Structure 1
Amino acid sequence: MRPIKFRLWNRPLNKMQKVSFLQFWGRGVGLLTSTGDHYQLDPKQGELMQFTGVKDENGREIYEGDIVQTYEIDDDGRPINAVVKYEDHLAGFTLTNEYQGVWRRLDNDYPVIGNIYENPELLEARHD
């Protein structure tokens, strides 16, 4: 059984935070971060991301929104990066890169190289 953990992209602070406690009510979320900060957030102010239950090859926890480097290579011989997403119809986590045509279940310990909020350029189409 995997631990249920979350982290938060806090839009007003432009910062990723680990979440220690969550409370849902009405249209908002109350949470306590691992640094002891307490927030009451409207869903527009933050994005919750769940731990996948998988760690990367360096022991780092993989969360929704992380960007991983797959073991596939593109036509120029460079590794293909993909974002971790939860797919409702699969009830599981997948790797996706629309530019490179990648879509598969998260089934390996791919190295985390960033996330979609702090490093969106890692998913951009390459034109060089």
Structure 2
Amino acid sequence: MMVPKFRAWDETQHKMLQVDYIEFIDGKAYWVEASPADGNVQDGNDGPIGDNSQIKLEQYTGLKDANGNEIYENDLVRLTDDLEDPIYKVIFDEAKFEISGGGVCYDLGEEFMDCEVIGNVHTNS
């Protein structure tokens, strides 16, 4: 059984944080406490989660790319077997992870492990 794993994008500091604690209310994530990967607690952030909040929660897909990097929601990936393909965004839709781009959408699964994470929507336009 896979334990859910998350990361958090901090809109104020413009950096990715590791999630230390998530509070749920009525089955929905409500509050997150996050810290930087380097362990410096002063650069962490705590706050509500939601569309208008400064902290964006992103879930790990449970999959790794061709280079062994973990693939998270809102990552940008490229299929390594065809570099002319568009860049795809990893999304969570209808209870499953998908990659979307170039007007098409595919389920993200083992058949797409030949993809490579090239960034995320927050740091790459």
Shorter-chain TM band: 0.7 to 0.9
* Percent of residue pairs identical: 31
TM-superposed CA distance for 1:42, in Å, is 5.1
TM-superposed CA distance for 1:46, in Å, is 1.5
The question of whether the paired residues in 1 share the 8 Å contact of 2:6 and 2:60 is answered with: yes
TM-superposed CA distance for 1:57, in Å, is 0.9
User: Which of residues 105, 110, 116 in structure 2 aligns to 1:103?
Assistant: 105
Q: Which runs of 5+ in 1 are unaligned?
A: 121-128
Normalised TM-score (structure 1): 0.76
Q: 1:13 to 1:38 in 2, by over 3 A?
A: closer
TM-superposed CA distance for 1:102, in Å, is 2.0
Find runs of 4+ consecutive structure 1 residues off by over 6 angstroms.
none
TM-superposed CA distance for 1:19, in Å, is 1.0
Q: Which residue is equivalent to 1:81?
A: 87
Q: Deviations over 1:49-70 (max 9, x none)?
A: 0000001111111000000002
Letter in 1 for 2:19: V
Q: Which runs of 5+ in 2 are unaligned?
A: none
Count of aligned residue pairs for this structure pair: 113
Normalised TM-score (structure 2): 0.77
